[in-house]
A and B are shown apart, each in its own frame.
Chain A
C-alpha cells in the first residue's frame, strides 16, 4: 500500500515545538552531568597516577566499576535502588545527572591520566629546576599542556554522554526521546517523529563538535 511509504512532512514539523520542550532536560542532564564528571575525572585521574598505593587503588576500582557497567543499569540503580538505601525518593532529573556524572567521570579520569602522562618528563624537570613547587609545576606547566591534548577526547566523551541521556526516557525524564514517545502515543507518527528526534540530537552534537574544533584551533597557537 502506498500509505506505508507516505512521509508526512507536516506531521514531522508539527512535532518540533513539542520535542523542543525536551531539549532543556537533555542539555541540563548532559552538561550538568559532564561538569560534575569533569571534576570527578580530574580528581580520580590524578589519584590514578599517584605513587601512593592507597590513593591509587580506590581510583582504579572506581574507574573499572563505572566504565565496566552500562549507564542504563547505573541510572536504574540510582533511581530505583538508591532510594531504598537513603529512605527517600530521588527525582528523575537528579538521577540522570548523577548517572552521567559517575559514568563520564570514569572515562574522563582515563582521559586526564593519559593527557598528563603524555607530557614529556623534561617539562616537569624544567619546572622543578626553576624552583617551582610540585603543585605550581603541575598548575602552570603540566596541566595547560595536558588539557590541550585532552580536548579531542573530552569532546568525544561529551558527545557520547549527550546521546546516553536518551536512555533516561525509561525513568520518565521528559527529555527528547521521552517527549517523542509521548507525542507518538497520540499521533502514531513514529517515522516522522523519530527522524526529528534524531535530527535534534545531531544539531546538538554538531554544535559541540564545531565549538571544540574552534577551541582546538585556538589551542594550536604556539604548539
Chain B
C-alpha cells in the first residue's frame, strides 16, 4: 500500500535535510564527492550502493557523527558547518534526528525500559512516569511490550533492533536515519524489523535508509539513490531506478544484487 511522494509530501514545505556540494575526506581518501541531496518532510529515501561506496558516511554526516570538509548542510532548518565539532546546534539537531545502527548499540547496563526512557528524561526532562508511559506505548507498537524489564543481552537480535527503534522514536524525532538496520540479523528476524519500519513509513515519518533489502526498498521508498565511489550517480522512484536504470554502473550493481 505505497503512497506516492506527491501524495504524502508537500513540495512547497521546507526540506528537512538540504545538502549542497558536500565533500568529505578521510585523510587522502575522498569519500563523498559534491553530494546534493534534499529530503522533504514525509519522504522516504533509500540509499543503495556497493560496500565502501560511502553510504554510512553520508547518513552519519546528517547527524554530525562524521564531520565534512566542504559544502552546505542544514538539517531541520539548522546549519551544520564544515569541520563542525561538538556544538549546541549539533546537539539540537540530534534531538530531532533519530538513528538506528547496524549493531543496535543498545545500552547493555540498562533494562529495555531504561534504554527507551534515558534520553527523554535526561534531554527532554520528562518525568519518570511520563517517560515510562511513552516507552510502554512505543514498545507495544514495535511488539515487545512484555520484554520491558529484561536486559538487551536477554533478547534476540530482532527484538534488540526493535528496542533500538523504540528508543529513537521516544525522542519524537522529525527524521529517522537507518544504517543497514537488518544486516546483522539472522534471516528469520529480518521481517519483524522491516515490518516495524514499514509501519513507521506508513505513519508519515521522514526516513533516510541505507539497506541491501531491495524488495523492501522498492516497497517503501519514495526515492532511491544509488551511490558509487562517493558520488550519487542515479536517483529516482523505485520503478525508475530498479526497472529502468540509466547508468551502466547502476545496471551492473543491480544485476549483481537482484539475482540473489
Contact = CB atoms under 8 A, between A and B. Distances in A.
Interface of A: 120, 122-123, 125-134, 136, 140-141, 144-145, 148, 221-223
Interface in B46-96: 63, 65, 86, 91-92, 94-96
Interface in B88-108: 91-92, 94-99, 101, 103, 105-108
A132 B109 contact: no
Contact of B119 (A123, A130, A144): A130
B182 to A, nearest CB: 16
A174 to B, nearest CB: 43
Contact of A126 (B105, B122, B123, B153): B105
Contact of B109 (A120, A128, A129, A144): A144
10 contacts: A123-B107, A125-B105, A126-B106, A129-B63, A129-B168, A130-B119, A131-B123, A222-B152, A223-B109, A223-B151
A70 B107 CA distance: 40
Given A140-B118, A222-B153, A223-B153, A130 B167 contact: yes
B40 interface: no
B171 interface: yes
B111 A222 contact: yes
Given A125-B101, A136-B122, 9 more contacts: A122-B101, A123-B107, A125-B65, A126-B101, A126-B106, A126-B164, A133-B91, A140-B118, A222-B152
A63 to B, nearest CB: 26
Interface residues of B, number: 31
A120 B105 CA distance: 9
Name the residue in A125, A126, A131 with the highest tally of chain B Cβ atoms < 10 Å from its Cβ: A131
A122 B103 contact: yes
A122 B118 contact: no
Mostly helix, strand, loop or mixed at chain A's interface?
helix
Report, nearest first, the 10 A-B pairs whose CB atoms are least far apart.
A131-B95, A222-B151, A130-B119, A126-B105, A122-B105, A129-B99, A131-B94, A131-B123, A144-B109, A145-B109
A223 B152 CA distance: 8
Interface string B214-228: 000000000000000
Contacts of B153: 222-223
Contacts of A128: 65, 94
A20 B108 CA distance: 44
B119 A148 contact: no
B91 A131 contact: yes
Contacts of B108: 145, 222-223
Contacts of A127: 107
A220 to B, nearest CB: 10
Interface in B143-168: 151-153, 164, 167-168
